[in-house]
């Protein structure tokens, strides 16, 4: 199977150099979002302790947001004429999200670790938003929306640590 990183679209949305820069920024965040969704599912399956059910269900809500965000980012990359890369090997090699432990994890530690991971992804998104400001307002706006949703989830996680 042959793979390419760029299409031969006749009507480019951005200029070549800008496309390369924007899609590289988006790819970084795609990798982090995919890894965050996987981390959250690991946490969802293995959380134990008091209030298990509420955090178990809350994690699924966050996962939905993260997966929708990763899909938007991937589709934006492809819209710009570049192949999105969500392969396991790429996520493993390039994600900046801290690894989640194996085994069962108590509710309080789960909340803390998940909140830390969400914050890492928010930080990456916010950095990307700053870099995209002069390059592509559409991609910038998309990441602002994704970050806003994740920030709300972070608030709700942190409220449980108090």
**DSSP for 50-108, written as a single string:** TTHHHHHHHHHHHHHHHHHHHHHHHHHHHHTTB-----HHHHHHH--SPPPPSS-EEHH
Is-above-0.85 flag for pTM? yes
Element (H, E) at 27: helix 16-46
pLDDT band at 106 (very low <50, low <70, confident <90, very high): very high
The pLDDT of residue 5 is above 70:
no
Q: Which of 104, 99, 3, 90 is nearest to 45 (CA)?
A: 104
The pLDDT of residue 78 is above 90:
yes
Q: pLDDT value at position 45? A: 97
Q: pLDDT value at position 36? A: 98
Q: Are strands 47-48 and 105-106 parallel, antiparallel or unpaired?
A: parallel
CATH number listed for the domain at residues 16-158: 1.20.1260.10
**14-72 residue pLDDT tens:** 888 999 999 999 999 999 999 999 999 999 999 999 999 999 999 999 999 999 999 99
């Amino acid at each position: 199977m042959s793979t390419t990183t760029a299409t031969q679209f006749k009507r480019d949305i951005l200029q070549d150099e800008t496309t390369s820069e924007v899609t590289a920024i988006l790819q970084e965040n795609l990798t982090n979002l995919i890894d965050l969704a996987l981390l959250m599912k690991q946490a969802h399956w293995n959380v134990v302790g008091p209030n298990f059910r509420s955090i178990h269900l809350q994690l699924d809500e966050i996962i939905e947001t993260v997966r929708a965000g990763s899909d938007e980012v991937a589709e934006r990359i492809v819209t710009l004429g570049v192949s999105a890369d969500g392969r396991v090997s790429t996520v493993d090699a390039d994600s900046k999200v801290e690894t989640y432990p194996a085994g069962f994890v108590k509710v309080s530690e789960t909340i803390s670790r998940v909140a830390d991971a969400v914050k890492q992804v928010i930080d990456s998104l916010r950095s990307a938003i700053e870099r995209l400001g002069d390059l592509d307002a559409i991609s910038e706006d998309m990441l602002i929306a994704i970050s806003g949703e994740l920030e709300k989830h972070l608030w709700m996680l942190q409220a449980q640590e108090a």
